[in-house]
Amino acid sequence: MSQEAVIAASGAYPKPAQTFQYGTAGFRMKAELLPSVVFRVGLLAALRSRYKGGQVIGVMITASHNPPADNGVKLIDPLGEMLESSWEAYGTALANAESDQAVYDYYTQLEQKFNIDKDVVPQVIYGSDTRESSPALVQALKDALDAVGVKSQGFGAVTTPQLHYVVRCLNTQGKDDAYGEPTLEGYYQKISTAFNQLMANKSNGSVTVDCANGVGGPKLRELQKYLNGSIDITITNDDTETFSKLNSESGADYVKTGQRLPPSVSAQPLARYASLDGDADRIVYYYVDKDSVFHLLDGDKIATLAASFIGDLIHQSGITDFSIGVVQTAYANGSSTAYIEKLGLPTVCTPTGVKHLHHAALAYDCGVYFEANGHGTVLFSPTALKRIFAHEPKNPAQDTALTHLKNITELINQTVGDALSDLLLVEVILAHKEWTPDLWDACYTDLPNRLEKAEVADRNIYKTTDAERKLTHPVGLQEQIDALVGKYDQARSFVRPSGTENVVRVYAEAATKSEADELAQKVKALLN
């Protein structure tokens, strides 16, 4: 790597007059602001790989559920986790360096700070979602990787969880904790083999999947080729050619936030529907009842379904002293938390952002974590996996349960929330329980709730504590919120600054829809 080469390459991607911040979802904004950021993230990925002794780091270019004009970029750490938080600040500093020379200087400062071995060859893999702006951003990334001598490989359009999967496979290849074949084919093979075994001699009718016109559409179509036909998957909203359709009037965020059907879906009573987001790391289910009333089965409902099913399998396998915990955020519906407690399982609340949930889930033998918006997965600790795979069943019933349990650990993408893997997980559980969506829904009744966003002059003045459930600043505001909450039945409300948009979010739930709406509006009015 020569100073001239880095400075010349950086010169092709001038920094706009803008301050950048590596947030919950990496960098995310209007795509035209991103070329310099992506270039510099490429440099950071190279450093991170060398710091990790040449392990493979992933770079995903996506803006998930955001509108088509946006894009974003984030790093994936060696085991497929989100970038370690202490490194986010280095990304922020690199993105904000004011000149090409300053970029180079900061890069070499980091090399010195971490005493990085210059002989280690960095390795980076990358992919993107289906946005119009993605190819140009991929080019900016490649230019950075080439400038600093990275051994790199592009995976084209992939779902975010697929790239997480491949990163983990590459770094564990040939080791005890090998995760799978480091290819998309390997990904489809791994989850479909588990699914097909779990669904042997079962069938589960049909499910219609709205793919938000994003990368999930073609990838689900591919996955479908590997499935044994035990469910009939109808794919809708899978137009990735018309860029303007991405996440438009479709997708998990549209359905969850508006608590409504995508207009393109004409729902049949009691049939199953699911929506993915633009990069297929979120999923929500829904159905309409006999009176055509819409019912959402969100991340909380998926978490409770998965936790209770896995808990039953553990019990039926004869495995004892095994801890299962459910990790949620403040956005989890109060009824879901009460239901999990009723199941006798511990719940934990963490700040928003999957890295927090993921971390908390590691405390259990099996940690189930989901954001209410449908982003989540299930983690089995290395010790738990060893115990499950070494367990000797004592009778045929234990044997069957244990076989299912082993397949469940293979079906789930344990690196990160994965809409395709979660879709198959839900389908398996519903088939095993012989549940229609209304029976699943009947586990508990969601408290009516409302999510609002408020444009404010400066969202940084809003500071929170208690897993974002309370404000410490502006001083006095929390007391005003509490006073309002106190006027409603079964009510809860909180305010927090978004980590991905320049807004403050307001959440309210209460015994009735009108009370939840009114409380949200009143709390929102306090912000002006």
Binding site for ligand NG1 (CB under 6 A): 24-25, 64, 331, 352-353, 371, 373, 375, 498-501, 505
Q: Which does 281 bind (CB under 5 to 8 A by kind): Zn ion, ligand NG1, none?
A: Zn ion
Q: Beta partners for 366?
A: 324, 380
User: What, of Zn ion, ligand NG1, none, does residue 499 touch, CB below 5 to 8 Å by kind?
Assistant: ligand NG1
Which of 81, 88, 100, 279 forms a contact with Zn ion (CB under 5 A)? Answer: 279
Site for Zn ion contains 281 (CB under 5 A): yes
Cis geometry, peptide bond prior to residue 474 (ω within 30 degrees of 0): yes
Residue 277 found at the interface with Zn ion (CB under 5 A):
yes
User: Residue 353: CB partners within 8 Å, gap ≥ 6?
Assistant: 24, 25, 499
- Segment near Zn ion (CB under 5 A), from 58-66, 169-177, 291-299, 385-393? 58-66
Min. distance of Cβ 404 from Zn ion in angstroms?
A: 29
Neighbour-count burial for 41-72, b at 16+ CB within 10 Å, e otherwise:
bbbbbbbbbbbbebbbbbbbbbbbbbebbbbb
Per rule CB under 5 A, is residue 88 in the interface with Zn ion?
Answer: no
Beta carbon of residue 499, minimum distance to ligand NG1 (angstroms, whole number)? 3
Is 422 a residue that touches Zn ion (CB under 5 A)?
no
Is 253 a binder of Zn ion (CB under 5 A)?
no
Cβ of residue 496: shortest distance to ligand NG1, in angstroms? Answer: 7
Nearer to Zn ion among residue 378 and residue 416 (C-beta): 416
Catalytic residue among 49, 64, 421, 493: 64
Supply the minimum distance, in Å, between the C-beta of residue 440 and ligand NG1: 22
Q: How far is the CB of 304 from Zn ion (least distance, A)?
A: 22
* Distance in angstroms (rounded) separating the CA atoms of residues 432 and 420: 19
CA distances 126 to 74, 134, 135, 189, 410, Å, are 10, 11, 12, 21, 24
Q: Using alpha carbons, select from 396, 383, 399 the residue that is nearest to residue 322.
A: 383
Cβ-Cβ contacts under 8 Å for 50 (sequence gap 6 or more): 116, 117, 118, 120, 122
Q: Where are the alpha helices (DSSP H) in 437-495?
A: 437-441, 477-485
- List the binding residues for Mg(2+): 64, 277, 279, 281
Q: Going edge to edge, which strands form the sheet with 70-76?
A: 27-30, 70-76, 56-61, 123-128, 151-157
Stretch near Zn ion under the rule CB under 5 A, chosen from 59-67, 169-177, 472-480, 505-513: 59-67
Residue 277 Cβ, how far from Zn ion at the closest point, in Å?
4
Tokens 């079906």, residue? 411
Q: The tokens of 254 are what?
A: 């549209």
The question of whether 36 is a catalytic residue gets the answer no
Q: Which of residues 342-401 bind Zn ion (CB under 5 A)?
A: none
- Cβ proximity to Zn ion, 282 vs 524, nearer residue: 282
Helix (H, G, I), strand (E, B) or coil at 70: strand
Identity of the residue, 279 or 422, whose beta carbon is nearer to Zn ion in the bound complex: 279
Which letter does DSSP use for residue 487 in this model? Answer: T
Binding-site residue numbers are 64, 277, 279, 281, 371-373, 496-500, 505
279 binds, options Zn ion, ligand NG1, none, Cβ within 5 to 8 A by partner type:
Zn ion
In angstroms, rounded to a whole number, what is the distance separating the alpha carbons of residues 418 and 377?
7
Site for Zn ion contains 70 (CB under 5 A):
no
Detail the residues annotated as belonging to a binding site for substrate. Answer: 371-373, 496-500, 505
Interface residue list for Zn ion (CB under 5 A): 64, 277, 279, 281
- Please identify every residue annotated as catalytic: 64
